[in-house]
């Protein structure tokens, strides 16, 4: 599933390409036809991301909300789009403030819907602080974590605690700080949380800048290859059974709240 950095990149791109101009919005597949008709021909004011949610704000006050879920993708195009291929839920064509014509096709999202302001407020109120948003308040997350008996591995994935973190950042962040994903929230110290948050902000900003997850420090980037061609090199994520890059212990795997979890039992004791 795309993590927050992917959504923030998309928001930046859509803002750059479409904001400030009229956008033609359609639903070649038909499932978003009613929603598309509500915003078609309006000016996109801005695009932004909140965690894993993408929001397109139109001058009418309406907002298109997209959540990619597991399978959703945007296909971007600089220049005219051809006939829609496959199940295109939403097609956008516009040029923003430029004379260019850009397009994008959205396929397979979990959510693609038109929201009114109160619904947008309700959506963002349900989300924890997003490390990639300016003014994100890590104390809001801390207030939940420090009272919780749930494991940190679960808390970090809970979008109501921290918005935008997915399975890769969760596993890698905890590894980088030597913290067991099984440790309970209430057993984390305030200093540890400050360090986790600061690192998360930095790592996710790198993710936005580079368009991929980069978490392995250069001095550790040796030994066993990453889990697949073109995928991020990781310390533990999808490296079950391989030796830890730092201590050589076998990286472990289990399932926590329905999601795959990876950690090094030596570097992350407890
Ligand atoms: Zn280790």
* 3-class DSSP string for 26-78: ECCCCCCHHHHHHHCCEEEEEEEEECCEEEEEECCCCEEEEECCCCCEEEEEE
Which residues, at least 6 apart from 80, have a Cβ–Cβ distance to it below 8 Å?
A: 101, 103
Q: How far is the CA of 174 from the centre of ligand 1 (A)?
A: 12
Q: Helix, strand, or coil here: 140? A: helix
**Beta bridge partners of residue 91, listed in sequence order:** 26, 105
Tell me what pLDDT residue 100 has: 82
**CB 154: neighbour CB atoms within 10 A?**
20
Q: How far is the CA of 177 from the centre of ligand 1 (A)?
A: 11
Residue range(s) occupied by CATH 3.20.190.10 in the chain: 4-126
Residue range(s) occupied by CATH 1.10.8.50 in the chain: 138-263
The residues carrying an active-site annotation are 2-3, 52, 259
Q: How far is the CA of 252 from the centre of ligand 1 (A)?
A: 10
Place of tokens 């790198």: 206
Tell me what pLDDT residue 92 has: 98
Tell me what pLDDT residue 10 has: 98
Q: How far is the CA of 121 from the centre of ligand 1 (A)?
A: 42
Instruction: Determine the CATH number of domain 138-263.
Output: 1.10.8.50
Tell me what pLDDT residue 221 has: 78
Tell me what pLDDT residue 96 has: 86
Q: Could you tell me the CATH superfamily of domain 4-126?
A: MutM-like, N-terminal (3.20.190.10)
Tell me what pLDDT residue 262 has: 98
Q: Helix, strand, or coil here: 141? A: helix
Q: How far is the CA of 213 from the centre of ligand 1 (A)?
A: 20
What does pLDDT average to in each consecutive run of 10 residues of the chain (270 residues)?
Answer: 95 97 97 98 98 98 97 92 94 89 97 98 98 97 98 98 97 98 98 98 96 88 60 87 93 95 96
Record the tokens describing residue 151, joined without a space: 């494991």
């Amino acid at each position: 599933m795309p993590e927050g950095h992917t959504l923030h990149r998309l928001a930046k791109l859509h803002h750059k390409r479409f904001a400030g101009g009229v956008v033609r919005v359609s639903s070649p597949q038909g499932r978003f036809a009613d929603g598309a008709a509500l915003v078609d021909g309006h000016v996109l004011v801005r695009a932004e991301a909140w965690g894993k949610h993408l929001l397109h704000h139109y001058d009418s006050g309406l907002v298109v909300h997209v959540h990619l879920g597991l399978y959703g993708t945007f296909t971007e195009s600089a220049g005219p789009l051809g006939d829609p291929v496959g199940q295109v839920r939403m097609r956008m064509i516009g040029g923003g403030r430029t004379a260019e014509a850009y397009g994008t096709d959205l396929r397979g999202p979990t959510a693609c819907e038109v929201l009114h302001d109160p619904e947008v407020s309700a959506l963002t109120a349900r989300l924890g602080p997003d490390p990639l948003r300016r003014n994100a308040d890590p104390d809001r997350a801390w207030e939940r974590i420090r009272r919780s008996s749930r494991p940190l591995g679960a808390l970090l994935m809970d979008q109501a605690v921290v918005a935008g973190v997915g399975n890769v950042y969760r596993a890698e962040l905890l590894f980088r700080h030597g913290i067991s994903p099984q440790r309970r929230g209430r057993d984390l110290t305030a200093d540890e949380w400050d360090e986790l948050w600061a690192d998360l902000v930095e790592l996710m900003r790198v993710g936005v800048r580079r368009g991929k997850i980069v978490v392995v420090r250069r001095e550790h980037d040796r030994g066993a290859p990453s889990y697949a061609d073109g995928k991020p090199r990781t310390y533990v994520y999808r490296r079950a059974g391989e030796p830890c890059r730092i201590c050589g212990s076998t990286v472990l795997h289990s399932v926590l709240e329905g999601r795959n979890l990876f950690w090094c039992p030596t570097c992350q004791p407890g």
